[in-house]
């Protein structure tokens, strides 16, 4: 049985993960630690927050070490899935400070809190069965040329943005806690996610909202930056698989085998909206508007997830076509949620 801590559970992936795992029989208690930045919203957890008997919420900032230690001890946490982070590349370029403080120092605070709770301070022997799963990104590997093979777990880190550098730094800390102290830690590195509850600052929800409101749909540079897209539900399934079956010290790549240029992706969104909302007048592709490229924009990411599927049997369940259609439908049906989370934006 586990007392599971999910950090960042009010964000995009964290809230999907909580929905997906809360009723797993292995969980005695699920604690969501989140300080609720502009990206974290309890509205993402409607039906769970405040009503599910196994669910507890701690509004705590990872930058405050004493508070993090208190949460780990008070709830006798045995398992951690660490998602909380500053996650938007453009914001990291405009102001990297929060990325260093949360992604690097915050991860350090969490690792220390777990080490002090899980190990006997005199003997350094682990006192309880536990697992620490650190959720990272394919962006730590840097950029691929068009014909280069996909990133594997052996690919060296070569991050190019303050965001990816802060994530790579936190990965290295997690790795060191396993090698130095024996902390039973694992790292996953996932490609771009899409799906419900994604804050409307990332490519897919921005594009959907722009198309619905007949605004220009911004496309960086020539639109030919390539990403590997994975439905958030498949990512969450992979995280649960690694938490429960992965080997401590292991890293696992997670990807959808869905490499596409950003331009192709937004064109698909235009076509889906045209089909689902004919009253908008069609020809949404005419709204595409090329804008100045992001500084240092990585050209291509591609993930080889063979290890995860071969060793632990994980496979994505969503095709990109069905997943995008489902996502567009979700945003069409949840315009109240979009209004609520964007109107309460605090930074
Ligand atoms: P998100 O921005 O939607 O959510 C982040 C959450 O962390 C928010 O709820 C926020 O309030 C919380 N948070 C931020 N700073 C905090 C702090 N100092 N203390 C406590 N809580 C804090 O992010 P997401 O897209 O759900 O990503 C979650 C994780 O997955 C991140 O670590 C990210 O690097 C990783 N990841 C994301 C993607 C993706 O495509 N979204 C892909 C691969 C990996």
Tell me the three state secondary structure of residue 193. Answer: strand
> Would residue 23 show up in a list of annotated catalytic residues for this protein?
no
Query: In the predicted model, what is the mean pLDDT of residues 284-291?
Result: 96
346 has pLDDT over 70: no
> 13 with 232: CB under 8 angstroms?
yes
Whole-angstrom Cα distance, residue 188 to residue 169?
14
pLDDT digits (tens, 9 = 90+) for 297-316: 999 999 999 999 999 999 99
CA 267/CA 270 separation, integer angstroms: 5
| Share of residues in the chain with pLDDT > 70 (%) | 99
Cα-to-centroid distance, 163 and ligand 1 (Å) = 11
> Given pLDDT bands bounded at 50, 70 and 90, which one contains residue 347?
very low
* CB of residue 35 inside a 6 A radius of ligand 1: yes
Name which residue leads in pLDDT, 54 or 122: 54
In this structure, is residue 140 part of a structural domain?
Answer: yes
Known catalytic membership, residue 61: no
Q: Is 266 inside a domain boundary? A: no
Whether 288 is in a domain gets the answer: no
Q: Which member of 163, 177, 197, 331 is catalytic?
A: 163
Nearest CA to ligand 1 atom 32: 83
pLDDT bracket for residue 274 (50, 70, 90): very high
**For residue 85, what are the domain limits?**
2-199+230-256+302-318
Task: Provide the CA 197 distance to its chain's centre, in angstroms.
Answer: 12
How far away, in angstroms, is 125 Cα from ligand 1 center? 32
- pLDDT tier for residue 345 given thresholds of 50, 70 and 90: low
In a domain, 65, yes or no: yes
* Confidence tier at 124 by pLDDT (50, 70, 90): confident
Residue 275 known to be catalytic: no
pLDDT digits (tens, 9 = 90+) for 154-207: 999 999 999 999 999 999 999 999 999 999 999 999 999 999 999 999 999 999
For residue 154, give the CATH number of its domain. 3.40.50.720
Q: State the DSSP H helix or E strand holding residue 88, giving kind and residue range, or none if neither.
A: none
Is the residue at 97 inside a domain?
A: yes
Ligand 1 contacts CB of residue 102 (under 6 A): yes
Point out the catalytic residue in the list 138, 234, 259, 298. 138
**Is the CB of 266 within 6 Å of ligand 1?**
no
Which of 235, 258, 271 has the alpha carbon at shortest distance from 320?
Answer: 258
Average pLDDT, the chain: 96
- DSSP structure string for 125-148: -B-S--EEEEEEEGGGG----TTS
204 SS3 class: helix
Helical residues (DSSP H) of the chain, grouped into ranges: 12-21, 65-74, 89-94, 97-98, 107-118, 162-181, 203-212, 232-245, 262-276, 306-312, 320-333, 335-343
- 17 belongs to a structural domain: yes
Ligand 1 lined by 197 (C-beta under 6 Å): no
pLDDT tens sequence across 65-76: 999 999 999 999
As for how many domains the chain has, the answer is: 1
Secondary element (H or E) of residue 75: none
């Amino acid at each position: 049985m586990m007392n599971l801590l999910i950090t960042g559970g009010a964000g995009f992936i964290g809230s999907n993960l909580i929905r997906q795992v809360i009723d797993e029989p292995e969980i005695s208690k699920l604690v969501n630690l989140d300080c609720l930045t502009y990206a974290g919203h309890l509205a993402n957890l409607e039906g769970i927050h405040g009503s599910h008997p196994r669910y507890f919420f701690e509004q705590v900032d990872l930058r405050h070490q004493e508070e993090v230690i208190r949460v780990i001890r008070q709830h006798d946490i045995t398992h951690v899935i660490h998602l909380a982070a500053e996650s938007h590349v453009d914001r990291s370029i405009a102001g990297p400070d929060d990325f260093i403080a949360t992604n690097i120092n915050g991860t350090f605070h969490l690792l220390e809190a777990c080490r002090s709770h899980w190990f006997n301070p005199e003997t350094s022997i682990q006192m309880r069965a536990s697992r620490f799963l650190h959720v990272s990104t394919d962006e730590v590997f840097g950029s691929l040329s068009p014909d280069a093979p996909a990133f594997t777990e052996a690919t060296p880190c070569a991050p190019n943005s303050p965001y990816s550098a802060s994530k790579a730094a936190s990965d290295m800390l997690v790795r060191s806690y396993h090698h130095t102290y024996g902390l039973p830690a694992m790292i996953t590195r996932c490609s771009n996610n899409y799906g419900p509850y994604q804050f409307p600052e990332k490519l897919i929800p921005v594009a959907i909202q722009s198309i619905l409101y007949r605004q220009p749909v911004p496309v960086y540079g020539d639109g030919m930056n390539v990403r590997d897209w994975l439905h958030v539900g498949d990512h969450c399934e992979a995280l649960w698989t690694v938490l429960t079956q992965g080997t401590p010290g292991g890293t696992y790549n997670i990807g959808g085998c869905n490499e596409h240029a950003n331009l192709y992706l937004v064109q698909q969104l235009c076509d889906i909206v045209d089909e689902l909302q004919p009253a908008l007048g069609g020809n949404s592709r005419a709204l595409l508007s090329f804008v100045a490229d992001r500084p240092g924009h990585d050209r291509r990411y591609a993930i080889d997830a063979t290890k995860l599927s071969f060793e632990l049997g994980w496979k994505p369940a969503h095709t990109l076509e069905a997943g995008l259609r489902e996502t567009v439908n979700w945003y069409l049906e949840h315009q109240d949620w979009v209004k609520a989370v964007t109107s309460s934006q605090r930074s």
